[in-house]
Amino acid sequence: MFERTYGGSAWDVGSSVGRTDDGGYIVAGETYSFGSGGADVYLIKTDGLGDTLWTRTYGGSQDDISYSVEQTGDGGYIIAGYTDSFGAGEEDVYLVKTDGAGDTVWTRAFGGPEPDFGNSVEATDDGGCIVIGITSSFGAGSYDFYLIKTDGAGDTLWTQTFGGSEYDYGSSVKQTSDGGYVVAGHVNSFGVGSEDIYLIKLDAAGDTLWTRTYGGSGPDGGRSVEQTDDGGYIIAGDTRSFGAGVWDVYLIKTDAVGDTSWTRAFGGLDDEQAYSVDQTEDGGYILAGYTKSFGAGQEDVYLIRTDAAGDTLWTRTFGGSDIDYSYSVQATDDGGYIIAGRTRSFGAGNADVYLIKTDANGYVQVSGDRYEIPRSRYLYLSQNRPNPFGSSTTISYSLAAAAQVRLAVYDIRGARVRELASGTAPAGSHQVAWDGRDERGRKVGSGIYFCRLEAGERSATRRMVLLR
């Protein structure tokens, strides 16, 4: 288990992570610290402990950025993003094929005179690859889904665009068990809300078999899709139509023809979004993104583990006092998880690549009482234990220095239920019990509550579930 940062003195981001055949990891993103241009594609190869084996940059004199990476059947890697340095337009889809040492085998740029971007790539069974992104050079609207199928040399076999007259955004693509493809994103052209999640099923030639939209009256975005063991699909993203906060993590399970099996929203009173989902060995799901409702900083890495029905088994946050995001997660062979993103709390630069390896329970390191090791330089609020709880629960927090604190419980509407602590607290670890009663000693009902710790100018929040 580990947490690692990579980068230089400027801005460096990890957008995608994958397991490699040797037991290590491959991370792709962007770097302003190294390379030849303003930004360059950044590829990092690590061993199983997160130690760097090699790094590579790719690009020209302008900005070149990657959003997706996967190991290929020959032991090399395929990377997708966009380039300002090469191609026909302002930005073009950028595809880089490397060997196992990260040395370039070929590069390709796809697009027209207007901006075009590649967001997700997957190696395909025929030795080629499939890329989804967005295009303003082709299609019917201001931006459309842009799907590109290549052979093993990166040459185009076919392209497709999908969308209407508005802004439509392709985020994620996977090859399906029948040799076709499934694509997820979000559309303004179709659906019931201002923006809806869009799922497209295609055959091997790229012809549409069916499409589906999901969402409510507000904006809802699809960021990541996987085919599930039962032949259906799992989609992760974000919603303003449902849930408790401004934005919430949104998880949709469908059957094999895209009909909804169930949906779930996760989050607190502020913003949460998911960028990546993977199915776990037991048929459940792991999601990664960010949270503003919980954790130690302004935004924190947010990891959610669910069972096969989408019900929460546990959540974890990672990060420090600043802004920390995760963009990619995969289940690992040891039952744990590998997460990639960026951190401004730790590392050498303005932002650094952030790589986290956890065990099966989402811990990087576990102390004797099973609490996460505090990561904030100022304060850390642990998840209450037990959670969910029936009659009482224990809330633990730590302070790096003495501070004026207030610890209180709020209901889902934001109304204060009970103040648990107030006054000056010394540096160190503290524990407070809550018996599920309000200020007047009355038992409160089952439901979702939020514990908020304020210490000086800093705060942290945790979600609690009371089941009577």
Q: What is the mean pLDDT of the chain?
A: 92
- The domains of the chain are located at 2-378, 393-466
Start-to-end CA span in the chain (Å): 36
Tokens representing 347? 């590392």
**CATH number among 3.30.70.260, 3.40.50.970, 3.90.1150.10, 2.130.10.10, domain 2-378:** 2.130.10.10
Q: pLDDT by residue (tens digit) across 220-248?
A: 999 999 999 999 999 999 999 999 888 99
- Mind listing the pLDDT tens digit for each residue in 78-128? 999 999 999 988 899 999 999 999 999 999 999 999 999 999 999 999 999
Tell whether the model's pLDDT for residue 29 goes beyond 90.
Answer: yes
- Topology, domain 393-466: Immunoglobulin-like (2.60.40)
- The distance of Cα 403 from the centroid of its chain, to the nearest Å, equals 33
* Spatial distance between the Cα atoms of 147 and 162, rounded to a whole number of angstroms: 8
Assign 365 a pLDDT band (cuts: 50, 70, 90).
low
Condensed to tens digits (0 to 9), the pLDDT of residues 260-274 reads 999 999 999 989 999
State the pLDDT at residue 338: 98
Q: Kindly report, residue by residue over 396-432, the tens digit of the pLDDT.
A: 888 878 889 999 999 877 889 999 999 999 987 788 9
Q: What is the DSSP letter of 118?
A: E
Peptide bond into 374 cis (omega under 30): no
Q: Which residues contact 223 (CB under 8 A, 6 or more apart)?
A: 171, 172, 184, 236, 237, 238, 273, 274, 275, 276
pLDDT band of 366, cuts 50, 70, 90: very low
pLDDT per position as a tens digit, 115-171: 999 999 999 999 999 999 999 999 998 999 999 999 999 999 999 999 999 999 999
3-state secondary structure of 436: coil
At 378 the pLDDT is 61
Report yes or no: 293 and 267 within 8 Å, Cβ to Cβ: yes
Q: Answer for the pair 447, 370: CB distance below 8 angstroms, yes or no.
A: no
Under a CB-based contact definition with an 8 Å cutoff, are residues 188 and 169 in contact?
Answer: no
The closest alpha carbon to 335, from 410, 282, 296, belongs to 282
Rg over CA atoms, the chain = 23
pLDDT of 454 over the 80 cut:
yes
What pLDDT is recorded for position 371? 33
Cβ atoms within 10 Å of 468's Cβ, excluding its own: 11
110-115 contacts, C-beta under 8 A, 24 or more apart: 110/148, 110/156, 110/159, 111/87, 111/135, 111/137, 111/146, 112/88, 112/137, 112/138, 113/88, 113/89, 113/137, 114/89, 114/90, 115/82, 115/89, 115/90, 115/91
Quick check: 352 pLDDT over 70?
yes
Model pLDDT, residue 467: 80
